[in-house]
Structure 1
Amino acid sequence: MDYKNRIAKILFLIGIGEMVAGLILAFVFGTVDVGYYTTRYEVSWGIFFLIFASAFVGGMILIGFAELIERQTETNQLLKQSLGLSNKQFGATDNTESKMEGEPKLIDTKGKIDWDLEAEDTLKIHDYFFKEKKRYVNEIIATPYPYKFIVIAGNKEHLIKIDRENTNQVLELNLLDYPEVKDWLDGFEEGL
């Protein structure tokens, strides 16, 4: 087996080792002296199968745990690929410290929006900034203007729109082209 996870590889090897050792020990302890006047050995099949079955079951349990760990590692890799994240953003499996600046938080606009805010919106915005701009999102502020967000990334404010009518993609807009949003943002920041 070609395991990518070290723990899975170690558990697999221990499981195989346990089964091999169980086979050897089954022969050693299952062989009994049955000779009265001469030394004559025979295998006691009951003892042999008892010892070997115990080792086989224990080894298979360890191999099963190794498979579970390997499948979880593969699932994590696929999830990271689909989100476009590296080990540092996803939660490194190699016990290194992650330097991600924290999860982007959605700032509550105190009920001032009258359009549906979907959970995927924040994920799309986060993915857009990480893939396109190589930046982390610090804050996401939903504006009262439909599907428009103020995103603070890298200490800079960005105006983002989710194009729900056509492509359902993240579009970056120029904040200066939307003075009403800029005015709302200034008033919102003063109210915080």
Structure 2
Amino acid sequence: MNENMIAKVLFVIGVAQIAAGVIIGLITANIITYGVSWPVFFAWMLGGFVSGMLFIGFAENIRLLHNIHKKMQPLNKTPDTRQEPSIKNPRPEWTLDEADRTKIYEHYPNETIVEVVPAPQEDYCLVRFKSDNGYYVRVVYTGGFGIEETSDAKVRQSIIKWYNEQG
């Protein structure tokens, strides 16, 4: 399991609380017969926003701790149970699920994606594009709540080097 289900649930609860704060604020502010009570609306909206952001913050903490735990697991295994991806073992041990693959295609709607290759580093993918001038690649991180291009030059270079060695 690549993602922590509790983190996902807490994130959804946080977003729902923010939305509920706005909706309940609108409803309760309009109950008064002489017009909209803006202080009531902002009180409900602020309460929903703060409690929702707390849940989203807890979800992010759990997600980060889960990622740290996953990265530390290979240290506890015997050397025979895990092989590092290399030329002899070109496929990484993790797989890119369809939801993340769909997120990648939705993140680049105006570009022609030729292939999406899971990299040896978990939650990183190399995305190969085609343009009028030829082909180019980007390294994206899929481990968060969305897709983002990695800004870490060392990770990007190591994944591109790994991809080029694969042929």
TM-score by length of 2: 0.45
| Higher Rg of the two aligned structures | 1
TM-score by length of 1: 0.39
